[in-house]
Amino acid sequence: MSAKIGVIGGGSWGSALCILLANKGYKVDFWIRNEEQVNEINRTRINTKYLPEVKIPETVQISNDLELVIRDKDVLVLAVPTHAVRETVKKIKDKIKDGQIIVNVAKGIENDTLMRISQIVREEAPNSKYAILSGPSHAEEVAKKMPTTVVVASEDKEVTKYIQEIFITPSFRVYAGSDVIGVELGGAVKNVVALGAGISDGLGYGDNTKAALMNRGIAEITRLGVKMGANRHTFTGLSGIGDLIVTCTSMHSRNRRCGIKIGEGMSLDEAIQSIGMVVEGVKTAKSVHYLSEEYDVELPISNAIYEVLYEGKNVKQAVDELMLRDKKNELEDVEW
């Protein structure tokens, strides 16, 4: 299969996907906003700030000229943070060809509109086709060819098959899906739960606590997802439980690391600054809080994290309140 691909966004995930695709033989152009970063990577072939241990192949053309990177491409990979998606798509929408495929790999929900990324892309570039690539996939491990599995979902079956074929490699297995809502929500909301898992670690709590957070966290994600039109079975898959496990347990996870700092007593701003990169779950926590109100869905863990981050609630008080909530039946919200 021959395809020309533009990767937009100079972080760790964009870099890892450039490496994966170039190693498979595709013509890849890579857009990075910062000119100094572009010059450094062109000189060293290493993205020192975001992916310092793996070289980007010489065949990848790196530029801060966005129009050059998207020109004549079959596929555009959108690898910018969620808060930058709308601005980025607005910049390129007049250059997008009818039917051009946009593959999103960011995981979040826009704060102001509470839109998922597919909705943003549909609003700003309605002539494009959309797919979401998500799952338990740390960029650091993908770039080193460690076995990884993800899912690609699109409302267009042919787009799903096409993107599956482009990205699949012996070390990067891609499953096909169609539940765009579920895959997007699973990837976004698990970051909020991972902040909670990190806070738990920072407080010195153990495996029991983390297991409880993860288990009840996936229950919350499913509850919200079903209310928003997703298939509940999606959340038992790679973009649900799979992504939740890796993000809550790995030190590669910015969300978990940020949560640890908060649990240890840092302020939110101090914790974010110490990570030095975008922590998607921080902004997503605000979106999820408002979605819980809009859809009238009970999300006690997510809302407790929101209160810790944005209302100054003491973390130990938040844990106590979660533990002392009214008694529940574990499966009371399951529809048989």
CATH number, span 4-178? 3.40.50.720
Instruction: Say if residues 64 and 39 touch (Cβ distance below 8 Å).
Output: no
φ/ψ of residue 183, rounded to 5: -65, -40
pLDDT(59) > 90: yes
pTM of the complete model beyond 0.85: yes
Terminal CA-CA length for the chain: 43
User: Would you list the domain boundaries of the chain?
Assistant: 4-178, 181-323
pLDDT of residue 334: 53
The Cα–Cα gap between 47 and 94 comes to 30
Confidence of residue 234 (pLDDT cuts 50, 70, 90): very high
Superfamily of domain 181-323: N-(1-d-carboxylethyl)-l-norvaline Dehydrogenase; domain 2 (1.10.1040.10)
User: Which member of 73, 107, 129, 190 is catalytic?
Assistant: 190
Q: Does 313 participate in catalysis according to the annotation? A: no
**Across 185-204, average pLDDT:** 97
User: Which of 95, 175, 97 is closest to 131 using CA atoms?
Assistant: 175
pLDDT tens per residue across span 206-230: 999 999 999 999 999 999 999 999 9
